[in-house]
Structures are given as C-alpha cells and as structure tokens.
C-alpha cells in the first residue's frame, strides 16, 4: 500500500508548540505563513533524532494546526516587514539590510507514525504500557525544544486555562468506527485553530474556466487569478456602475502556497557542483512549484488524512508536498467563515 492510502500505526500529537521568529516568507512570491516544505523538513530532522535515540518510530506525515499568529509587519498603505539593523562592517560602514520576514506562532503538530520493528518483535508503545507512551512522548517533546521550526526558536510549553500542552502518543484503531470516534475527539481538542489543506482541484477548475474565454491561458495565469479579488464594473437596472468580484461567498481564505520544487537541471553527483552546501550529496538546480491551499477549521475535517501532508519525489525531477484533503460537496458549506490568516502574494 502506498503512503497516500496507508493508515497510521499511531499518531504523535504535540499541542501548542510556541515558535518565535519563524520565517514568514514562504517563497519568492508568497508570505504570511511558513511553507509546508519547512514543516516536512522539520519532520525529517526530528525523525533522524528519533533514530539516533533508538526510539522505534518513523514519522511519515505531518499536520499543522495554527491557533495564533503574529506576523512582524508594519501596517500601512504598503505593508512592510519589521527588519533588524545589522551591525556595521569592520571598516565602520553601514552593512546592507537583508529583508527577513518573521512570524510568531502557536501550533499543534500532528505526526503519522509507523512502528520500526524487527521480524517477530513486539513493542509496547501502542499496546498497554501507558507510562512508556507518556515517557516517550515527553522525550520527543524535549527533542523538539532543542530544534528550530521554519527557522524559528521553539519556546518552552506554557499551559493555561483550556490549553493542553501534554504531548501524546496514540495508537490508531483497526476498526473504522473507532477511528472516526477517535478523530472526532481529537479535532475538538484542536479548537480554536485552523489548518492549511491543499486545493489543487480549485486551481484546475479555474484554469478550465479561464480557457473557455482565453484558450491560451496558462496554469500561472489561473494561479494568479485565483490568488486575488478580480473586480469588474457593470451597470445595474438603474444604469449605475456596480463593481463586483468573482470570488465565491466565504472563499477569502483560499490562498496561494508553495508546494515543492521542480528540476531545472540533471542530477549532479556529490562534489560536482562548486559551492554546494554538501559535497557528498547529489545536487540539482530547481525552481518553486505553486498551488492553492485553504485555511479551514479542524472540525470540518472528515478523516485524519485530510489534515496530513507528506513528501513525494518523481523520476522527472518533481519534489512535491502532497495532502489528502477531499472537499465536501458545495451544499455542505465548503468554505469557512472566520479563518485567522492567509498566505499573501508579495
């Protein structure tokens, strides 16, 4: 069974992880929230720490619920980032300012787990040893405290009224009814908050709509068109000018997002490209891949796979973040009403 459809052996839930000064510039074209590539990179780095600590868990997918955010920007007619002043050069001259976007976050991280077992081995993590699960969950939470998430520093957990900070390891049931009941309980614990899901379907729909009017419309045209409010003027029955836009009701939190990288060159052997960060790892030049995402409340998710993201690589040089979200029918109130944030185009 592929990673896309495989049910988890268990879940690791790290509630209310506070991150300071994470990177708010998710790509050369978007800002407002870290890219999902950053969270997948964090998952893989944490997985290496688990292996080094002999914790028999493999992290396969990650979901992110944002409870609070504060992007470090100066509001005005033109929104600008709050930049730090660099020290002067050694000759006393003013150093160049490198634009950095920062954001403070309060996140719940959910990881899909797979047990790493030798043939015939039985481990107690997802059986009956509750004390072992608690100890392992806190050990992993302590590891996270020494790491960075999207370039930001992880702050110590801070509990409060109605705020759960205790990490948990949860075994995933075999029966569908038990899975549904467990997920309903979990998603209530993740409120209030909003999670980012992939909406490739909306991008394809908009591309088909635009090609009915302009056959040579590209996917980039559709992406830009869907990322903004397109206002057009018309006259009403009283011959007055009326301005309208083409965004659906409540769809203001459909946002442009980066979802990976596409190859621009062949794959070079390690050390073949000068000034690469790692001279032992194969190297390839890439460019960003973009799609459409949507901020929705966790209580609107129907399955655990709707929440989770994972990485896929293809022989043609496509490295992509994938999400298992399947939208509800339009009659079921597909769009949320009050999400807290949006990625924005720069």
Average pLDDT, the chain: 84
pLDDT score of 337 = 40
Cis-peptide into 103, omega within 30 deg: no
For 11-41, the pLDDT digits (tens) are 999 999 999 999 988 888 888 899 999 999 9
Helix, strand, or coil here: 89?
coil
Neighbours of 248 (CB within 10 A): 12
pLDDT score of 252 = 57
Higher pLDDT, 344 or 244: 244
Rounded to whole angstroms, how far apart are CA atoms 28 and 258? 9
- Range 291-313 average pLDDT: 92
37-41: list long-range contacts, CB under 8 Å, 24+ apart.
37/258, 37/259, 37/260, 37/261, 37/321, 38/149, 38/150, 38/151, 39/64, 39/109, 39/149, 39/150, 39/309, 40/309, 40/310, 40/311, 40/321
Answer whether residue 120 shows pLDDT above 60: no
pLDDT score of 145 = 92
pLDDT score of 56 = 86
Answer whether residue 289 shows pLDDT above 60: yes
Q: What percent of the chain has pLDDT over 70?
A: 89
For residue 158, what pLDDT band results from cuts at 50, 70 and 90?
Answer: confident
Rounded to whole angstroms, how far apart are CA atoms 15 and 157? 9
What pTM did the predictor assign? 0.86
Q: What is the enclosing helix (H) or strand (E) of 108?
A: strand 102-115
| Per-domain residue ranges of the chain | 10-85+95-196, 200-345
pLDDT score of 342 = 46
């Amino acid at each position: 069974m592929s990673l896309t459809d495989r049910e988890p052996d268990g879940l690791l839930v790290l509630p209310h992880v506070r991150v300071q000064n994470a990177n708010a510039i998710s790509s050369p074209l978007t800002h407002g929230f870290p890219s999902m590539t950053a969270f997948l990179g964090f998952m893989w780095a944490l997985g290496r720490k688990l292996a080094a600590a002999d914790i028999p868990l493999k992290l396969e997918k990650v979901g992110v619920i944002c409870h609070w955010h504060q992007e470090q920007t100066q509001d005005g007619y033109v929104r600008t980032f709050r930049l730090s002043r660099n020290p002067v050069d050694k000759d006393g001259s003013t150093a160049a300012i490198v634009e950095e976007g920062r954001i403070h976050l309060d996140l719940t991280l959910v990881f899909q787990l797979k047990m790493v077992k030798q043939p015939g081995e039985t481990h107690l993590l997802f059986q009956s040893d509750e004390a072992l699960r608690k100890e392992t969950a806190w050990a992993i939470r302590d590891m996270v405290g020494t790491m960075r998430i999207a370039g930001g520093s992880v702050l110590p957990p801070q509990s409060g009224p109605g705020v759960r900070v205790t990490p948990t390891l949860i075994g995933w049931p075999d029966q569908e009814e038990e899975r549904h009941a467990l997920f309903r309980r979990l998603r209530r614990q993740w409120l209030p908050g909003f999670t980012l899901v992939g909406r490739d379907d909306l991008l394809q729909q908009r591309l088909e709509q635009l090609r009915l009017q302009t056959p040579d419309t590209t996917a980039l045209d559709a992406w830009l068109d869907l990322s903004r409010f397109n206002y057009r003027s018309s006259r009403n029955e009283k011959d007055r000018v009326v301005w309208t836009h083409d965004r659906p009701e409540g769809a203001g939190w459909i946002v442009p997002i980066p979802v990976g990288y596409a190859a621009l060159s062949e794959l070079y052997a390690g050390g073949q490209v000068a000034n690469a960060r790692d001279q032992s790892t194969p190297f390839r030049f890439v460019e960003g891949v973009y799609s459409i995402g949507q901020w929705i409340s966790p209580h609107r998710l129907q399955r655990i796979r709707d929440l989770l993201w994972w990485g896929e690589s293809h022989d043609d040089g496509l490295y992509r973040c994938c999400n298992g979200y399947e939208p509800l029918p339009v009659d079921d109130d597909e769009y949320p009403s009050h999400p807290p944030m949006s990625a924005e185009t720069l």
